[in-house]
Chains A and B, each alone.
Chain A
Amino acid sequence: MKKGRWGEYLFIYPAVIFMLLLIGYPLIYNIILSFQDVDLNSLATGDKHFVWFDNYKALADQDGFGISVWNTIVYTLGSVVFQVVIGFLLALFFSMKFKLASFLRGVVMISWLIPLTITALLYKFMMGSGEGIFNQMLMGIGFIDDPIQWLSNPDIALWSVIIANIWVGIPFNMLLLSTGLSNLPEDVYESASLDGANWFQKLFKITIPLLRPVLLVVLMLGFIYTFKVFDLVFVMTGGGPINSTEVLSTIAYRLSFNEFQFSLGAAAANILFIILLFVSVIYLFMINKDEEA
């Protein structure tokens, strides 16, 4: 903008105020809350004194906190990698303009449309150790001899939730990548064909590099959506067995609404926020670099 016309900024204030009220206020409130000592008792007496980083220290000592951070990361990376890879393959598949392609693409979207709680209940049912369809099928084709304890084995439970989440996330990834694919210029492919490039060369030398900005967006959004997982875990396992599927959001929920240690809950939520902020900054940095280049 030109100098000396700061009155023009007035026009952006409605939006800025709106954002501050709806996004800024809760964020800042939460940060302040995490530096205070607030539980049910202090809410009752009104004595909210500052303890600064004591909550974060207490959080680090909490049973299951360390593992919940680790679980959140494993859950996010595991989900995002498979979602993007499978979503990308499906997008490639549906870009091969065959009959029914758009119809089938619509059908795949169904898993994105089902409410998460329902998906969680469905998977819980399908992953039942005895009558669950997963075990029935795997045992039917002779892939396994004994039923897998999908949700009852602490070593497997997290991956079971990840499987459910991959299923949920594929259509979203596929849709964004499909749009990206349809926007790629045709002429590049034509000249590559003339030069004798095969399918794999086109994929790795043309499609993926050209799709980079879209891939970045997909990875970024996938990361954010997945990192703050709550419903799936809460309904499928409740964070158990033991702490094997406990994630940051379930810890924050438990602390705030079961034990009413609001400050500790806020601290856990802030750690989630800080990690997401960090990832967002990396993303912005990469986007900027892309634009400069």
Chain B
Amino acid sequence: MKKGWLLSFTSLLLFFMLSACGGGSSITEESGTDTETADGKQEILLWHYYTGSEEYLTELLDKFNESQDEVHVKSEYVPFSDIKKQLSIGSAGGNLPDIIISDTVDNASLASMGVLADITEKVEDWEQTENFLDSPLQSTVYEGKHYGMPLTSNALGLFYNKGMFEKAGMEPPETWEELKKAAAELTTEDRKGLGISAVKSEEATFQFYPFLYSAGGDYQHLESEEAKKALSLIKDMLDNDSMSEDILSSTQDDLATKFSSEQLAMMVNGPWMIERLQENNPDMDFGIVPIPKDKQVSSVLGGDNIEITKEANVDAAWEFLTWLLAPEQIEGFTKNTGYFPPRQDVLNDSDYWKNDDYLQAFIPIMEVAEARGPSPDWPKISEAIQIAIQESLTDSKPVEEALSDAAAKVEEVE
């Protein structure tokens, strides 16, 4: 009975194949929105990926829920790496949460997916919008419309080892020329003057951005003289040995490790490393200044945006957003997450950032930080930039050629 075996086996196989095919088409009609709680409140579901500050978030939500009797917000944790996928699946099934939190660079691609609500009018009408920093606010824009609000921000600065600078009788650099000079002079047998991350990942793009924008370049014109100048600066410092070849495989974490073991006199890094540096090497005295400039002081913006989905009750969600983004709440929340508030007024008025030796250095930096993109195809643009950086730093291509190749790739996706 070989046939019987074969028949039943193939039928099983077929069954699985068919069910695999049909998997995507079974759209459920159930909608996660417009639900009401027992006490007649409008229910709003928030997706977030905060692990360390989850408790604080819950506290905040409780506070909001008690403060009024129209909206009830509850939260759900979705891992960062899953959020895009979960959203697209949720969108197909009509099961979207009402509010989501995403990385700033993902805001545009989420908007391009058609998942988010256009809240341009509300953003423009809100009297507090003007207090937000410009770049974080711009990071919510896709095709001229606002699809979210900035929630938390961070940026890159130049960390320097105070002891080494004092010994050499130098001041922290402010211009590219000074940076080159300081990096070269502070380089010795067992340490390098400067560390930046040029590993093949988003981190390389992130770290290159301040230099690109300081020269007056941008990602849409990578073939420009300005972009060439920025990449040449990095290449020069590598060629004259002020930086180690290891930057091509160094992540920002690696930089922090080397900086705290005093193998680097300076590094480009973000405020989230401060605590780590203090823990790793409590005896080390370090300072933070803006990344040295060419034409203008610049930095790169990181952090999160908060967005309302297209099927949500936008009014109710917006009510919560304006409450959360108000100075009293946003100050506590950003403090707790270790980020910076995206609001100029909070940065200026709150004592928390102003009075901290390290954090205060980031206040002027936050004001000039540029958002990456925004573009729905950011990962591809970023990869083109990463490749250009690595091609020129490894002498595989001259700076000019590497950048014009990258510019061609960017043009293709834009």
Residues of A within 8 A of B (CB): 3-6, 9, 16-17, 20-21, 24-25, 28-29, 32, 38, 40-41, 43-46, 48, 63, 124, 128-131, 149, 151-154, 236-243, 254, 257-260
CB-CB nearest 3 A-B residue pairs: A240-B200, A43-B88, A152-B245
Q: How far is the CA of A24 from the CA of B15 in the complex (A)?
A: 11
Which residues of B sit under 8 angstroms from A29, Cβ to Cβ?
A: 20, 23
Give me 7 A-to-B residue pairs in the complex whose CB atoms sit less than 8 angstroms apart, sorted by A's number.
A16-B12, A20-B12, A32-B21, A46-B92, A128-B244, A129-B246, A240-B200
Which residues of A sit under 8 angstroms from B4, Cβ to Cβ?
A: 6, 9
| Contact status B396-A154, CB under 8 Å | yes
A25 contacts which of B20, B200, B394 (Cβ < 8 Å)? B20
With A238-B201, A241-B394 as contacts: A129 and B245 at CB distance below 8 Å: yes
Q: How far is the CA of A254 from the CA of B202 in the complex (A)?
A: 12
Q: How far is the CA of A51 from the CA of B345 in the complex (A)?
A: 53
Which residues of A sit under 8 angstroms from B254, Cβ to Cβ?
A: 124
Q: How far is the CA of A28 from the CA of B192 in the complex (A)?
A: 52
User: Is B224 located at the chain interface by the 8 A CB criterion?
Assistant: no
Residues of B within 8 A of A (CB): 1, 4-5, 8-9, 12-13, 16-17, 20-21, 23-25, 27, 81, 84-85, 87-89, 91-92, 109, 112-115, 190, 192, 199-201, 244-249, 254, 263, 379-380, 383, 386-387, 390-391, 393-394, 396, 409
Which residues of A sit under 8 angstroms from B12, Cβ to Cβ?
A: 16-17, 20
| Contact status B17-A28, CB under 8 Å | yes
Which residues of B sit under 8 angstroms from A236, Cβ to Cβ?
A: 249
Which residues of A sit under 8 angstroms from B249, Cβ to Cβ?
A: 124, 151-152, 236-238, 240-241
Chain A residue at smallest Cβ distance from B89: A43
Looking at chain A's contact residues, the main secondary structure is loop
Q: How far is the CA of A129 from the CA of B254 in the complex (A)?
A: 14
With A154-B396, A237-B200 as contacts: A130 and B244 at CB distance below 8 Å: yes
Which residues of A sit under 8 angstroms from B113, Cβ to Cβ?
A: 40-41, 44
Which residues of A sit under 8 angstroms from B248, Cβ to Cβ?
A: 151-152, 240-241
- From residue A269, how far is it (CB to closest CB) to chain B in Å? 15
Q: How far is the CA of A131 from the CA of B258 in the complex (A)?
A: 10
With A44-B115, A240-B248, A259-B379 as contacts: A9 and B25 at CB distance below 8 Å: no
| Contact status B394-A152, CB under 8 Å | yes
- From residue B305, how far is it (CB to closest CB) to chain A in Å? 17
| Contact status A241-B390, CB under 8 Å | yes
A40 contacts which of B9, B21, B109, B390 (Cβ < 8 Å)? B109
| Contact status A6-B1, CB under 8 Å | yes
Chain A residue at smallest Cβ distance from B5: A9
Which residues of A sit under 8 angstroms from B109, Cβ to Cβ?
A: 40, 260
- From residue B20, how far is it (CB to closest CB) to chain A in Å? 4
Chain A residue at smallest Cβ distance from B249: A151
Which residues of B sit under 8 angstroms from A131, Cβ to Cβ?
A: 190, 263
Given contacts A29-B20, A44-B92, A48-B24, 5 further A-B contacts (CB under 8 A): A25-B20, A44-B113, A46-B24, A129-B246, A239-B200
| Contact status A44-B88, CB under 8 Å | yes
- From residue A237, how far is it (CB to closest CB) to chain B in Å? 5
With A6-B1, A152-B394, A154-B394 as contacts: A128 and B246 at CB distance below 8 Å: yes
Chain B residue at smallest Cβ distance from A257: B81
- From residue A67, how far is it (CB to closest CB) to chain B in Å? 12
